Amino acid sequence: MIRHLFKLIWNRKKSNFLLISEIFFCFLVLFAVLSLVVYNVRNYSKPLGFEYDNVWLLTSRADIDSTELRIAVEQQLAQKIRSYGEVEGTALVSSNSPFAFSQMKVWAQVEGGPRILVENIDVEDTFAEVLQLNVSAGRWFTKQDDAARYESVVINRVLQQELFGAESAVGKLITRNDSSQVQIIGVVDHYRGSSEYSEESPVLFTRINQQKVAVFWGEMLIRVKPGTGIAFEERMVKDLSGIAKNWTLELTTVEKMRQTKEKLSLVPMIAMAVVCGFLIFNVALGLFGVLWYNISRRNGEIGLRRALGASANQVYRQFIGEVLVLATFGLVLGVAFAVQFPLLQVFEVESIVYFIALGIAVGLIYLLAIGCAFYPSRQAAAIHPALALHEE
Amino acid sequence: MITLKNIEKVYQTKTIETVALHNVNLHIPKGEFVSVMGPSGCGKSTLLNIMGLLDEPTNGIVEIDGKPISRYRDNELAHIRNQKIGFVFQSYHLINDLSVLDNVELPLLYRSGTSAAETRHMALTALEKVGLSARTKHYPTQLSGGQRQRVAIARALIGQPEIILADEPTGNLDSVMGEEIMNILLNLNRQDGTTIVMVTHDENMAQKTERLIRFFDGQQVSDAKTNAYDFQQV
Ligand SMILES: Nc1ncnc2c1ncn2[C@@H]1O[C@H](COP(=O)(O)OP(=O)(O)OP(=O)(O)O)[C@@H](O)[C@H]1O
Ligand SMILES: [Mg+2]
């Protein structure tokens, strides 16, 4: 029977061409949207490497020229904040703090190796504690790094693998931005600070050492005790405004920053899904219409098959089967096209993402085809054989 | 083989009620070649459809091999059609997108347990019987009317049915081609013992069969052995 259906569809390929190409395009769009969704969902399910609950971000800006003065005020603010019982710790950080819209790229290179573009984040020693990073090799920054011969840095495992592969990175020297030699003292498990929906990229933590280079950072992460609420927030902002008069102080939670970033990732996905949904609805209508039309055109054939010994159920199965075969033709073309993405590595995305998307898209197309064929096929099976033969 | 008892067929439409068959009693014994004649609209096709289990009578009993068919479910009826009955239609009813060979093989598609090779072999044998061995790869639209009807007959006989129901098989053909078709049917009946019921408008054709039943307005008006029958018996 399956052979018969393939033969039938193949011999009717001209009249089925439109349907097959509709299925083909529908599959490609589904594949594209699903690839994006699978990519995002997979990233989302991976560890961030830090805990952002109960972490706030204080941004301070001042209209003062003197850097020393600004640093001094920043120190006072930090001291004041740490003095509250509700606060567990603070850490100065460069503007590319978790979920911020800011990046700072530097080149990292092992002698003789390739240059790798990495995210450089300047952090205070307390940063690992405030964000609860997990150091899996070596150690995090401490006071003893003040006296180190080379500037100490900590990297994430992604960077370790890119620089050294399976080898340990701890103690190794790398060149930063083609100029300074820095020494890796530790490796953190993960750090995926840009967005929950993006892949983990290589990260280099540089130690903030105000004794050596005095910089006004303007961004401070604050870990508060669980359950600390708005009342404390208001009180603290009021106290801080008293210290930093005429400064602009902004206090937000890292959670809020995460939400903003999330919207940015979800909006295009939702928009695409809506467009895709409309398209699929259209294709479904087309499919349904053509199937419906085909069946009324094929009354004589249906009557004949019944006369030759097909039961109503066999006619039903034949029509469902035909649609599945049609879908298969469209899918074979579509899959042949879609597998080029993982094969040619068009984008830097793991192949598995494409294969999952491909599998889901194939399944959805078959479901769609069966869904559209269901009712017309039932109608075909219900056609009275004598009537159908009579009409021809 | 087939027995009809008190068959009544009424077509009910919104406005009118048509009595297509009224009080039809018939017995077709095994191996007989029967022709059915009558004016247009007198119910001949309706009769054949009921005999062929494609339609149900409004009243009355249809028996196949002595068993009333009213008990059967749809798939069982389909099975009987497939095993015992072959149809030939005036308008051939070939599937244009399938080759001659594939068209002939159709009935075996609905019969489980026949291998592809076996099916092919049976189709070729059937085509040989109707003299179309040279046209197996053709498509119906590439054939003449007479050739198409021969394909349809090959399709009807591939499953070796006990009975062939032919509704005006020569109705669309000229007399020469009609003659050819008639000879094929006569051969089938005489050599293989296939029971045949044929509707025709052609008195000459009818006279070649053994028995002629005449219909008028849904009722049998005569039922008699023909000269051919007498001739055969002598
Ligand atoms: N589906 C139907 N609905 C309503 N009436 C029908 C239907 N099929 C047949 N009839 C009517 O039943 C009667 C018998 O029709 P049938 O087709 O059996 O005639 P016929 O003897 O085969 O005619 P012809 O020689 O023209 O083929 C006709 O009056 C016809 O109009
Ligand atoms: Mg008729």
User: What is chain A's mean pLDDT, rounded?
Assistant: 92
Q: Among candidates A58, A81, A43, A31, which has minimal Cα distance to A361?
A: A31
**Residue A189 sits in the same domain as residue A41:** no
Cα(B170) to ligand 2 centroid in Å equals 12
The answer, for B155 touching chain A at a CB cutoff of 8 Å, is yes
Answer whether residue A54 is part of any domain. no
Q: Among candidates B48, B137, B60, which has minimal Cα distance to B100?
A: B137
Ligand nearest to the CA of A391: 1
Residue pair B136/B99 in contact by the 8 Å Cβ criterion: yes
Q: Which of A180, A211, A246 is where one domain is finished?
A: A246
pLDDT in tens, A286-302: 888 888 888 888 899 99
User: Could A389 and B89 be called an inter-chain contact, meaning their C-beta atoms sit closer than 8 Å?
Assistant: yes
Q: Between these two residues, A156 and B114, which has the higher pLDDT value?
A: A156
Nearest CA to ligand 1 atom 16: B43
Q: Among candidates A312, A380, A391, A390, which has minimal Cα distance to B77?
A: A312
Mean pLDDT of B23-41: 95
Mean pLDDT of A147-158: 94
**pLDDT reported for residue B79:** 94
**Residue A332 sits in the same domain as residue A277:** yes
**Residue A234 sits in the same domain as residue A86:** yes
Answer whether residue A51 is part of any domain. no
- Measured at the CA of A8, the angle between CA A6 and CA A9, to 5 degrees, comes to 65
> Residues B30, B34, B38, B41: what is their CA dihedral angle, to the nearest 10 degrees?
50
Q: For residue B87, what are its two tokens? A: 């149809």
Answer whether residue A39 is part of any domain. yes
pLDDT band at B234 (very low <50, low <70, confident <90, very high): very low
Pick the CATH number of B2-223 from 3.60.20.10, 3.90.1170.50, 3.40.50.300, 2.40.110.10: 3.40.50.300
Contact residues for A238 (Cβ-Cβ < 8 A; gap 6+) = none
Cα(B145) to ligand 1 centroid in Å equals 24
pLDDT in tens, A236-245: 999 999 999 8
Q: Ligand 1, from B42, B51, B91, B172: best to mutate by most atoms within 8 Å of Cβ?
A: B42
Cβ contacts (< 8 Å) between A306 and chain B: which residues? 54, 78, 81
Q: Between these two residues, B126 and A283, which has the higher pLDDT value?
A: B126
**Residue A214 sits in the same domain as residue A304:** no
Residue pair B198/B33 in contact by the 8 Å Cβ criterion: yes
Q: Give the predicted TM-score (pTM) of the model.
A: 0.81
Q: Is the predicted pLDDT of residue A279 greater than 90, yes or no?
A: no
Mean pLDDT of B67-76: 87
CA-nearest residue of chain B to A6? B98
Cα gap B229→A144, rounded to integer Å: 122
Cα gap B91→A388, rounded to integer Å: 13
Q: For residue A298, what are its two tokens? A: 């094929």
State which amino acid sits at residue A182. V
User: Could A1 and B109 be called an inter-chain contact, meaning their C-beta atoms sit closer than 8 Å?
Assistant: yes
pLDDT in tens, A323-350: 999 999 999 999 999 999 888 887 888 8
Cβ contacts (< 8 Å) between A4 and chain B: which residues? 102, 109
Q: Which of A302, A308, A326, A392 to mutate to test the interface with B (most CBs of B within 10 A)?
A: A308
**pLDDT reported for residue B233:** 52
User: Could A309 and B107 be called an inter-chain contact, meaning their C-beta atoms sit closer than 8 Å?
Assistant: yes
pLDDT in tens, A201-227: 999 999 999 888 889 999 999 999 999
In chain B, what are the domain boundaries?
A: 2-223
Q: For residue A170, what are its two tokens? A: 């701890």
- Helix (H) or strand (E) run with residue B67 in it: strand B67-68
Domain extent at residue A95: 63-246
Cα gap A247→A60, rounded to integer Å: 7
**Residue A70 sits in the same domain as residue A101:** yes
Q: Ligand 1, from B46, B48, B55: best to mutate by most atoms within 8 Å of Cβ?
A: B46
**Residue A217 sits in the same domain as residue A287:** no
Question: Strands B59-64 and A105-109, how do they pair?
Answer: unpaired
Query: Cα dihedral sign for A297, A301, A304, A305?
Result: negative
User: Could B93 and A304 be called an inter-chain contact, meaning their C-beta atoms sit closer than 8 Å?
Assistant: yes
The answer, for B61 touching chain A at a CB cutoff of 8 Å, is no
Q: Ligand 1, from B44, B47, B214: best to mutate by most atoms within 8 Å of Cβ?
A: B44
Q: How many CB atoms lie within 10 A of CB B25?
A: 12
**pLDDT reported for residue B210:** 93
A290-293 contact pairs (CB < 8 A, 24+): A290/A18, A290/A19, A291/A319, A291/A323, A291/A372, A291/A373, A291/A376, A291/A377, A292/A376, A292/A379
Answer whether residue A253 is part of any domain. no
User: Could B93 and A312 be called an inter-chain contact, meaning their C-beta atoms sit closer than 8 Å?
Assistant: no
pLDDT in tens, A168-186: 999 999 999 988 899 999 9
The answer, for B92 touching chain A at a CB cutoff of 8 Å, is no
When divided into structural domains, chain A yields a total of 2
Q: For residue A119, what are its two tokens? A: 């995210």
**Residue A334 sits in the same domain as residue A239:** no
**Residue A69 sits in the same domain as residue A195:** yes
Q: Which residues lie across from B67 on neighbouring strands?
A: B64
Residue pair B154/B126 in contact by the 8 Å Cβ criterion: yes
Distance from CA of A365 to the nearest CA of B (A): 26
- 3-state secondary structure labels for all residues of chain A: CHHHHHHHHHHCHHHHHHHHHHHHHHHHHHHHHHHHHHHHHHHHHCCCCCCCCCEEEEEEECCCCCHHHHHHHHHHHHHHHHHCCCEEEEEEECCCCCCCCCCCEEEEECCCCCEEEEEEEEECCCHHHHCCCCEEEECCCCHHHHHCCCEEEEEEHHHHHHHHCCCCCCCCEEEECCCEEEEEEEEECCCCCCCCCCCCCCEEEEECCCCCCCCCCCEEEEEECCCCCHHHHHHHHHHHHHHCCCCEEEEEEHHHHHHHHHHHHHHHHHHHHHHHHHHHHHHHHHHHHHHHHHHHHCHHHHHHHHHCCCCHHHHHHHHHHHHHHHHHHHHHHHHHHHCHHHHHCCCCCCHHHHHHHHHHHHHHHHHHHHHHHHHHHHHHHHCCHHHHHHHC
Distance from CA of B229 to the nearest CA of A (A): 30
pLDDT in tens, A357-378: 999 999 999 999 999 999 999 9
Q: Residues enclosing ligand 1, CB less than 6 A?
A: A 387, 390; B 11, 13, 18, 20, 38, 40-46
**Residue A223 sits in the same domain as residue A308:** no
**Residue A215 sits in the same domain as residue A346:** no
CA A121 to chain centre: 22
If phi > 0 it is left, if psi is from -120 to 50 it is alpha, else beta; for residue B92 that is left
> Residue B44: helix, strand or coil by DSSP?
helix
Answer whether residue A8 is part of any domain. yes
Residue pair A159/A108 in contact by the 8 Å Cβ criterion: yes
Place of tokens 């669980």: A226
**Residue A39 sits in the same domain as residue A97:** no
**Residue A35 sits in the same domain as residue A111:** no
